[in-house]
Amino acid sequence: MCWRFCVESRSALVEPKAVGALMRAIDGYQGYFLTRCALRLSALLFVRQGELRKAEWSEIDFENCEWRIPAERMKMRTRHIVPLSRQAMEIFRELHAKTGRLQHVFPGLVNRKRPMSENAVNSALRRMGYVKGEMTAHGFRSMASTLLNEQGWNSDAIERQLAHAERDSVRAAYNHAEHLAERRKMMQAWADYLDKLAGESVPVSTQPMYMSEGV
């Protein structure tokens, strides 16, 4: 079986059968509840891990199904709106029942006033049997980017969802304003696609396809 690579990045699964196996492994994760939710949202939302683990309840708009990350927490220092699929909203509702009275969606295990450990998702992946060369926490971004591009989604919408910097300031403003509706459709389609892959119980090679993370 061939492997896929991306220059200057870390490892991520990109072959659909392997992604399906990963999603089943996440669903069956027997560790800490908040970590399992973080794993699931990493796959569904493919935000940067620092953005995910530092998420605050004040940023979650349950009425409009959006997560609005303030500019000061974004790598590019621009506010980022993440459309939330039905599946993501269900997870946030489950989490709210556990941590809704606290500041952080994912509070630390020891200090509840601080966010969860930066190594939580990577450590969970290792416990699930994924070595560093196969999948990392950051790899969920590469996984989504690769498969969404292969499925023919607008590359600008994908880049906007990944919150990548736009070199042209005018184009950046345009993309921010114009791609939200398309990103809503894309994020729901992505969540449905992951559910579909998770439901396909097809044996996966012990040597899964992977690519290096570039996002």
The answer to whether the CB of 14 falls within 8 A of the CB of 147 is yes
**Do the Cβ atoms of 141 and 162 come closer than 8 Å?**
yes
Scanning the chain, the segments in alpha helix (DSSP H) are: 16-27, 33-45, 49-53, 86-99, 120-127, 139-150, 155-161, 169-178, 180-198
- What are 48-52's contacts with CB under 8 Å, separation 24+? 48/75, 48/138, 48/141, 48/163, 49/118, 49/121, 49/137, 49/138, 50/118, 51/80, 52/106
User: What's the CA gap between 186 and 196, in Å, rounded?
Assistant: 15
Angle at 40 between CA 35 and CA 44, to 5 degrees: 145
Selection from 212, 204, 213, 209 nearest residue 25 by Cα: 204
Residue 4 DSSP one-character state: -
Active site residues: 48, 75, 138, 141, 164, 174
